[in-house]
Amino acid sequence: MSERIQPRTLKGFRDYPPAAMIPREWIIDTARRVYRSYGFSPIDTPALEHLEILTGKGSAETDKQLYRFQDHGGRSVGLRFDLTVPLARFVAQHIQQLGTPFKRYQIANVWRGENTQRGRYREFMQCDFDTIGTASASADIETVLVINDLLVALGFEHFTMRVNNRLVLNGLLEKLGLTAQATHVLRALDKLAKVGSETVAQELAAIATPAQAAAVLELAALIGDNESILAQLQPLLAGSPLGERGIGELTDLHVALRAAGVPPERLQLDVSIARGLDYYTGMVVETFLDELPEIGSVCSGGRYDNLTQLYAKQELPGVGASLGLDRLLAAMEELGRLPKVQTTAQVLIPFFAAECRDRYLALASRLRGRGLRVEFYPEPKKLGKQLQYANRQGFLAALILGDSEFAAQQCQVKNLATGASQTVGYREDVQEIMDALQPILATS
RNA sequence: GUGGCUGUAGUUCAGUUGGUUAGAACGUCGGAUUGUGAUUCCGAAGGUCGGGGGUUCGAAUCCCCUCAGCCACCCCA
């Protein structure tokens, strides 16, 4: 009796009370809506996979972060650390029935046993969308368009999608004879914006000759608007078939996105964007909030041409991206962009006249029948207290009915944001109440 | 995983060179006010000082370990 278990959560794992869960679900709903508007369909996969599925990719870093253990049957299993690897397994297993192109989205938790920081947790949610089975540039362009639409739908105007193409980097590496060290070079390059060119130069010095390192840095240091970057790239990659193809793809993407109406300032060609993950082969993109760039990319992705090679003979190209929901939420929290709403209902009916309980319940039911979300306060209490509750929970409107209203067949419709209230007739069809509520509820 | 900073009511923080019963503001609850919610007044509840061990006559304060949060590296959403 005296020895209680201390209630607590693991490092990097969190509880989500209503005030945290409501904006969370709003983002999920928004992502779902945007993905579906492009024809992506939902799938889900198990949280737990056979260990060899997850480690097959063989990156030492992801192996270190993997949650792994023996299950009750002695199998080696692991928790998925992203949604792309399970997708590769899923596609290799089911593509015969699904056919191509296959467009799916998946919104689910992933786990990484790394050290925590602001916006970095051990359990977090990713909102992935991918197009499998086509190498078309159109799918690349759509991927960036989805990211753009998604952030706009989430209420952002000022954000930057940094775009690059792995072919440009690979072309240069090939030209320089650095292909074998590609992974190291790209990782060093990826840090350019953060640590500056001197540090990157030092890191490159360890794996390349001074001339090679200088050539890599020259490419990555290109600045200016997108057109001028493209123009400056030409001579640097001349003679490299890969590099020239990369420039072609970047140009195409840039032109197409402009034509699709993406504001030019949102799209930044950035040759230093490499993405750490090995599986990207073409276009790569990272998205930063202009108001809080230091929190990192909130939506990243790219093209991978050999994703299923570990699991199937068939070669299936793909392109996609992932919204980091928890990082985005951490950013929105810090930017004060999260509304302080704790209720999912719009309208509160205070329990005011103690003997009229059943009439309140009937009114609430009728309003719900008209599509409203309505809460009836569970006990008769002072009206002031109940309105305070309504205010704190974030209700938009209260319907006040006491003895005098019931007697006069009326209802007071109170706008909780402004404090204004109006009295309307209260009849079975609740039409007058609906009419009075409409403008109040329309504000959110 | 490595290194650094931090941890005191629900929240934000005070707390003297180690000294008796750990404070404030805001929030919460009750009342003034059994018909109107961010004002005012009165009152109340709420703390194993993150947890464990040690030094000491005495620890929120000093030391060690541990847990958690933040920052940098690493990597990434």
What is the separation, in whole angstroms, between the first and last Cα of chain A? 49
User: Measuring CA to CA, which residue among A391, A392, A399 is closest to residue A417?
Assistant: A391
- Chain A 299-318, CB < 7 Å to strand B: 299-300
What does the pLDDT look like over A3-62, one tens digit per residue?
566 777 889 998 888 888 888 999 999 999 999 999 999 999 999 999 999 986 656 677
Burial class (CB in 10 A: 0-12, 13-18, 19+), A374: buried
Q: Distances in Å between the alpha carbon of A222 and those of A4, A9, A182, A183, A219? A: 61, 46, 20, 21, 6
Please say whether the dihedral angle defined by the alpha carbons of residues A103, A107, A111 and A115, taken in this order, is positive or negative.
positive
* Helix or strand (DSSP H, E) at A92: helix A84-98
Rounded Cα–Cα distance for residues A139 and A118 (Å): 33
Nearest-5° angle of CA A303, CA A308, CA A313?
130
Whole-number distance in Å between A4 CA and B17 C1' = 39
Which nucleotide lies nearest residue A122, CA to C1'?
B77
Domain positions in chain A are 18-334, 347-441
Whole-number distance in Å between A8 CA and B15 C1' = 28
Whole-number distance in Å between A3 CA and B71 C1' = 36
Question: What is the pLDDT at residue A2?
Answer: 39
pTM value is 0.88
Which nucleotide lies nearest residue A416, CA to C1'?
B37
- The answer to whether the A18-334 and A347-441 domains have the same CATH topology is no
Whole-number distance in Å between A385 CA and B41 C1' = 18
**Structure tokens, A82:** 């992203």
Does the C-beta of A131 come within 7 A of strand B? Answer: no
Which nucleotide lies nearest residue A418, CA to C1'?
B37
Q: Please state whether beta strands A123-132 and A318-324 pair in parallel, antiparallel, or not at all (unpaired).
A: antiparallel
Does the C-beta of A107 come within 7 A of strand B? Answer: no
Q: How many CB atoms lie within 10 A of CB A342?
A: 15
The strand pairing partners of A287, in sequence order, are: A161, A299
Rounded Cα–Cα distance for residues A273 and A284 (Å): 7
Chain B: nucleotides under 7 Å from a protein CB?
1-3, 28-31, 33-38, 48, 67-77
Question: What is the pLDDT at residue A277?
Answer: 63
Does the C-beta of A202 come within 7 A of strand B? Answer: no
Q: Cis before residue A101, ω within 30 degrees of 0?
A: yes
Burial class (CB in 10 A: 0-12, 13-18, 19+), A222: middle
Q: Distances in Å between the alpha carbon of A90 and those of A87, A311, A415? A: 5, 9, 50
CATH superfamily of A347-441: Anticodon-binding domain (3.40.50.800)
Q: What is chain A's pLDDT, residue by residue, as a tens digit (444 residues)?
A: 335 667 778 899 988 888 888 889 999 999 999 999 999 999 999 999 999 999 866 566 777 889 998 999 999 999 999 999 999 999 999 998 999 899 999 999 999 998 888 888 999 999 999 999 999 999 999 999 999 999 999 989 999 999 999 898 888 888 888 777 777 777 777 777 777 777 777 777 777 788 888 888 787 777 778 888 888 888 888 888 989 999 999 999 999 999 999 999 999 988 878 766 667 889 999 999 998 888 889 999 999 887 888 888 888 899 999 999 998 988 888 887 776 677 788 999 998 888 888 999 999 999 999 999 999 988 888 888 888 888 888 888 999 998 888 889 999 999 988 888 889 999 888 999 999 999 998 876
CATH topology of domain A18-334: BirA Bifunctional Protein; domain 2 (3.30.930)
User: Measuring CA to CA, which residue among A232, A251, A444 is closest to residue A346?
Assistant: A444
Does the C-beta of A412 come within 7 A of strand B? Answer: yes
Question: What is the pLDDT at residue A1?
Answer: 33
Which nucleotide lies nearest residue A330, CA to C1'?
B77
Rounded Cα–Cα distance for residues A303 and A256 (Å): 17
Whole-number distance in Å between A168 CA and B64 C1' = 55
Does the C-beta of A387 come within 7 A of strand B? Answer: yes
Q: Residue A419 carries which side chain, given as an amino acid letter?
A: G
Question: What is the pLDDT at residue A388?
Answer: 85
